[in-house]
Chain A
Amino acid sequence: MRIAWFVAVAMVTSGPAFAQGTGTGAAAGAGKPVVAKRAEALISESGAYLASAAAFTFHADVTFDHVLPSGQKLQFSAVEDVALKRPDWLYVEWRGDLGDRFFWYDGKTVTLYDPATPFYATEVAPRTIDQMLDKLVSQLGFSPPLTDFLYSDPAASLRGKVKYGLDLGETEVNGKSCHALTFVEQDIDWQIWIAGGPQPLPCKIVITYKTEPAEPEFSAVFSDWDFSPHIDDSVFTADLPPDAQKIPFKSVASAR
């Protein structure tokens, strides 16, 4: 494992490479984001590669922390499988230590199902994946993990509130050579590993919620990227047990 530690150099020599629009995330007086040019370039290349795909599927092996009220931090695992067809189809399957979730978007509605219960919920959704994803968090209070990579401009999604960005050099993830980058935001620190070579795909991502008690982390190691997948259209239509019962999303019901 070789990591070139030219972090300090990168910080000094790099300009404000990220676009403006850091919003309120940057602390007052923090100034413009300072991101190593190499880090900015890799985020842009990777984002552009994902954006150019009409469809893709990937697998992610996830770990995430849970903090007990005593302060004890527990780590759990999950696997996430994602199928995306632009502009308006998305399917996410999550199977984890703390439960499973199925999520469907067919361009008209989103459906969420927890198979440990007999209940699912459906809500009308905007016509594009981008608009739908924006609506999820703000209106329904959740979104599938790793949505950064599902937007039509993943780089924009990732770089939104970055204050500092560093290039740590190359290392290996699952035997593949990947560039390790690290970013600092007000509320989180995050790292991303991006594959070298003609396919600059995400190898891994780690998010540290540093303002949360005990600083829980979320990490995902990506695999099985497929940019010419054979996905039946029915995958994007909710597939529920015949006796499943529909219940409302709480936030939607409250608003009515």
Chain B
Amino acid sequence: MVNRHAKWKSLKTVLLAGAALIAAGSLLVEPAAAWRGGGGFRAGGFGGFNRGGFHGGSFGGDNRFGDGDGFDRSTDAGFGRDGFGSVHTAGNFTSRADSFQQAHPRFHQNATQFQQNRFSEANHLQSNRINEANNLQYNHVNNWNVYNDHWGGYHSGLGFGAGFAIGATVAALPVAAVALSVAGSPYWYANGVYYGAQGAQYVVVPPPTGAVVPTLSPSCTTVYVNGVNDLDCGRAFYVPVSNGYQVIAPPIGSTVSTLPSGASSENIGGVTYFAFGGAYYRPFYSGSSVIYQVVTNPA
């Protein structure tokens, strides 16, 4: 059995390599946190692990590509969701195509729009990478007890705000920030990130329920919960209103593939929940990936 501390040390090397890749403009490599398995079959005599330098990386949750549509399969790591990767189970995998396309009507937009989307995705990716690189460098020093921070706030294709964790302070607001007033308190909003005042600075806050913003980030997904269309924008949920989009509490029953940054773990009745912004999330394995479902307050 390989010493886990040794594995952890080696991770740092991988992390640096990942940062180098980012600098080189390659795809982002986020080394998975903490435990890395047994480092091969523990009996020895079965080599074949750790070949190549790229394995073990992870792109983390979905939305990482700025597409925000949260491609249902983007979190499965390619590991056999609905039988993907085996011949005899191909029907299980492909039978989802219809429902997927229905849930993602944008697939049927015209080619020009697709092309434009790709360009804007590329721009978002570029800025996301820089932010995520900084974020990862910081976060991976921590252990997975605070792994929530890995996902670094509202990074779901949000451009400038990507990687900003709740509680982060900034000296100045983004140029595009608009002032909001929610229940009498001042807030600012830019690129999907909300800021509150803190002395002479600004602090990143969770989306304040009830806030109305004029525009949304391009990464929002339409979600259907209890027969109502809502918009999922990186764990902030909105409904369209006459003068923009209003923040609502996460609908019960909706699922997300990554937790909002700052969600705190709670054990209630022997079950692990995560609490954030008044909502409770319960983790499940859906297929081969962990998802979090919004549930009623279990307490």
Chain A residues within 8 Å of B, Cβ to Cβ: 25, 57, 59, 62, 64, 66-72, 74, 76-79, 81, 83, 91, 93-102, 112, 114-119, 121, 137-138, 140-148, 157-158, 160-161, 185, 187-188, 190, 205, 207, 209, 211-213, 218, 220, 223-224, 226, 229-232, 234-235, 239-241, 245, 247-251, 253
A248 surroundings in chain B (CB, below 8 A): 284-285
Q: A101-B77, A147-B89 are in contact. Are A79 and B121 (CB under 8 A)?
A: no
A137 to chain B minimum Cβ distance, whole angstroms, is 4
Interface 9-mer from B41-49, B131-139, B201-209: B41-49
Residue of A nearest to B77 (CB): A99
Q: Which of B59-67, B179-187, B244-252 contacts A (4 or more CB under 8 A)?
A: B59-67
Shortest Cβ gap from B222 to chain A (Å) = 11
Chain B residues whose CB sits within 8 angstroms of the CB of A190 once the complex forms: 87, 90
A residues in contact with B42, CB < 8 Å: 232, 234-235, 239
- In the assembled complex, how far is the CB of residue B174 from the closest CB belonging to chain A, in whole angstroms? 25
Cα separation A62 to B78 with both chains bound (whole Å): 10
* 8 Å CB contact of B82 from A68, A121, A141: A141
Contact in complex: B284, A247 (CB < 8 Å): yes
Complex CA gap A119/B4 in Å reads 18
Residues of A within 8 Å of B36, CB to CB, are 100, 115
- Which DSSP category, helix, strand, loop or mixed, fits chain A's interface? mixed
- Residue of B47, B54, B73, B107 near A71 (CB, 8 A) is B107
Q: How far is the CB of B105 from chain A (nearest CB, A)?
A: 10
Asked whether B288 lies within 8 Å of A101 as measured between CB atoms, the reply is: yes
A69 touches B67 (CB 8 A): yes
Residue B85 CB within 8 A of the other chain: yes
Complex Cα spacing A213 to B290, Å: 24
**Chain A residues closer than 8 Å to B291, beta-carbon distance:** 250
Cβ contact of A137, chosen from B77, B89, B121, B285, cutoff 8 A? B89
Q: Decide: A187 and B94 in contact? CB cutoff 8 A.
A: yes
- Chain A residues near B71: list those with CB within 8 A: 66-69
Q: How far is the CB of B164 from chain A (nearest CB, A)?
A: 21
Contact A207 B87 (CB under 8 A): yes
A143 to B90, CA, bound (A): 11
Interface on B for A, CB 8 Å cutoff?
Answer: 4, 27, 29, 32-38, 40-49, 51-52, 54-60, 65, 67, 69, 71, 73-94, 97, 100-101, 104, 106-107, 114, 117-118, 121, 144-145, 147, 150, 272, 282-291, 293
A121 and B285 form a contact (CB under 8 A): yes
In the complex, the answer to whether A142 meets B77 with C-beta atoms within 8 Å is: no
7 closest A-B pairs by beta carbon, nearest first, are: A145-B85, A232-B43, A99-B77, A250-B284, A69-B69, A121-B285, A95-B55
Apart from A78-B78, A148-B87, what 6 extra A-B contacts exist at CB < 8 Å? A114-B77, A144-B79, A205-B87, A209-B94, A213-B97, A240-B35
Closest to A188 in B: B90
Point out the residues of chain A lying under 8 angstroms from B97, CB to CB: 211-213
| Nearest CB on B from A223, distance (A) | 8
Q: How far is the CB of B102 from chain A (nearest CB, A)?
A: 12
Measured CB to CB, the nearest residue on chain A to B60 is: A116
Closest to A72 in B: B118
| Min CB–CB distance A21 → chain B (angstroms) | 12
List residues of chain B with CB within 8 A of the CB of A76.
78
